[in-house]
Amino acid sequence: MRYLLILLVFSLISCKNEREVKAHESASTEVQKSDLEIVDFKGLEKYLSTNTDKTYIVNFWATWCAPCIKELPYFETLNKKYSDKNVEVILVSLDFPHVYETKLKPFIAENNLESKVVVLNDMDSNTWIPKVDKSWSGAIPATLIFNKEERVFFEKAFTYAELEHEINQFLK
């Protein structure tokens, strides 16, 4: 009987500690998730148009997309090189919510991404894809370049030279 009572006390203590650990992990996860700007399409719309002279390069990508990953350094270089020329790069991640912590955030940190990263979490892609561009099939990588005067959309991977050429068309 005494052993049964001791076993019961240890079980209760163990469950309490496990609940505390899970509560701590949950709070920690919420803090980490708040580091990412996660938006639905309505939240993304503010990044897709402008009334200013600034030129925006909005790249749609994901960590599971090899061509996207290959071209990301080009966008980062462009962001650094042209930031003083009123150009801003916005990287819109289309990663799935279950990999934000395990893949997306580590990828951003490991690659020292300095461009603005926005995570689009909107499952109604049939509605928002044509709002980005009527010609977009939904394939990535895809890039939108625009300012208040002009707007071009590309459903392709870029080399650095191609990307720089397109930006220079906006800066003339």
- For residue 31, the model assigns a pLDDT of 32
Domain edges within the chain: 1-34, 37-170
- For residue 12, the model assigns a pLDDT of 42
- For residue 60, the model assigns a pLDDT of 98
Q: Give the alpha-carbon dihedral of 156, 158, 164, 166, to 10 degrees.
A: -20
Q: Which two tokens stand for residue 80?
A: 């650094």
**Separation CA 87–CA 24 (nearest Å):** 41
Tens of pLDDT along the chain (172 residues) come to 544 444 334 444 444 444 444 444 433 333 344 478 999 999 999 999 999 989 999 999 999 999 999 999 999 999 999 999 999 999 999 999 999 999 999 999 999 999 999 999 999 999 999 999 999 999 999 999 999 999 999 999 999 999 999 999 999 8
52 and 87 Cβ atoms separated by less than 8 Å? no
Give backbone dihedrals phi and psi of 117, rounded to 5 degrees, phi first.
Answer: -110, 125
**Which of 3.30.420.10, 1.10.10.60, 3.40.30.10, 3.20.80.10 is the CATH number of 37-170?**
3.40.30.10
Strands 87-93 and 116-120: parallel
SS3 of residue 38 by DSSP: strand
- For residue 58, the model assigns a pLDDT of 98
pTM, entire model: 0.79
**Separation CA 38–CA 40 (nearest Å):** 7
Residue among 26, 58, 76, 79 nearest 141 (CA)? 58
Please give the full DSSP string across 106-165, using - where no structure is assigned.
HHHHHTT--SEEEEE--S-HHHHHHHH-TT--S-SSEEEEE-SS-EEEE-S---HHHHHH
